[in-house]
Amino acid sequence: MNGILPLWKERGMTSHDCVFKLRKILKTKKVGHTGTLDPGVEGVLPICIGQATRIAEYLTNAGKTYEAVVSIGRTTTTEDAEGETVEQNISYKQFSRSEVLTALKSLTGEIEQTPPMFSAVKVNGKKLYEYARAGQTVERPTRKITIYELELLDDAESFEGEEVQFRIRIKCSKGTYIRTLAVQIGEALGFPAHMHELVRTASGTFSTENCFTLAEVQALMEEGKASEFLLPVEYALSNYPFIEIDSTNEKQILNGQVLPQHALLKEHDKIVYSVNGRAFAVYIAHPTKAGQMKPDKMFPEVE
Report the C-alpha dihedral over residues 170, 173, 179, 184, rounded to 10 degrees.
Answer: -80
Question: What confidence score (pLDDT) does residue 135 get?
Answer: 77
From the candidates 38, 80, 154, 155, give the one annotated as an active-site residue: 38
Structure confidence by residue, pLDDT tens digits, 28-64: 999 998 888 888 899 999 999 998 999 999 998 889 9
Question: What confidence score (pLDDT) does residue 2 get?
Answer: 87
Q: Are residues 172 and 277 in the same domain?
A: no
Residue 23 lies in a domain: yes
Residue 76 lies in a domain: yes
Q: Are residues 195 and 75 in the same domain?
A: yes
CATH code for position 249 = 2.30.130.10
Count of domains for the chain = 3
pTM of this prediction?
0.87
Q: Are residues 77 and 167 in the same domain?
A: yes
Structure confidence by residue, pLDDT tens digits, 92-103: 999 999 999 999
Confidence of residue 302 (pLDDT cuts 50, 70, 90): low
Residue among 213, 294, 211 nearest 18 (CA):
213
Mean pLDDT within 191-199: 97
Phi and psi, residue 215, nearest 5°: -65, -40
8 A C-beta contact, residue 176 and residue 65? no
Residue 303 lies in a domain: no
Residue 153 lies in a domain: yes
How far apart CA 220 and CA 213 sit, in angstroms, is 11
Please state, rounded to an integer, the average pLDDT across all residues of the chain.
Answer: 92
Q: Are residues 259 and 289 in the same domain?
A: yes
Q: Are residues 150 and 272 in the same domain?
A: no
Q: Are residues 57 and 78 in the same domain?
A: no
Q: Are residues 47 and 136 in the same domain?
A: no
How far apart CA 174 and CA 58 sit, in angstroms, is 11
Residue 81 domain boundaries: 64-200
Mean pLDDT within 247-266: 93
Q: Are residues 7 and 101 in the same domain?
A: no
Question: What confidence score (pLDDT) does residue 141 get?
Answer: 81
8 A C-beta contact, residue 31 and residue 59? no
How far apart CA 187 and CA 210 sit, in angstroms, is 36
Inform me whether the pLDDT recorded for 117 exceeds 70: no
Three-state SS string over the chain comes to CCEEEEEEECCCCCHHHHHHHHHHHHCCCCEEECCCCCCCCEEEEEEEEHHHHHHHHHHHHCCEEEEEEEEECEEECCCECCCCEEEECCCCEEEEHHHHHHHHHHCCEEEEECCCCCCCCEECCEEHHHHHHCCCCCCCCCEEEEEEEEEECCCCCEEEECCEEEEEEEEECCCCCHHHHHHHHHHHHCCCEEEEEEEEEEECCEEHHHCECHHHHHHHHHCCCHHHCCECHHHHCCCCCEEECCCCCHHHHHCCCCEECCHHHHCCCCEEEEECCEEEEEEEECCCCCCEEEEEEECCCCC
Residue among 120, 121, 116, 177 nearest 147 (CA):
177
How far apart CA 28 and CA 251 sit, in angstroms, is 33
Residue 77 lies in a domain: yes
Is 38 annotated as catalytic? yes
CATH code for position 68 = 3.30.2350.10
Question: What confidence score (pLDDT) does residue 19 get?
Answer: 94
Inform me whether the pLDDT recorded for 132 exceeds 80: no
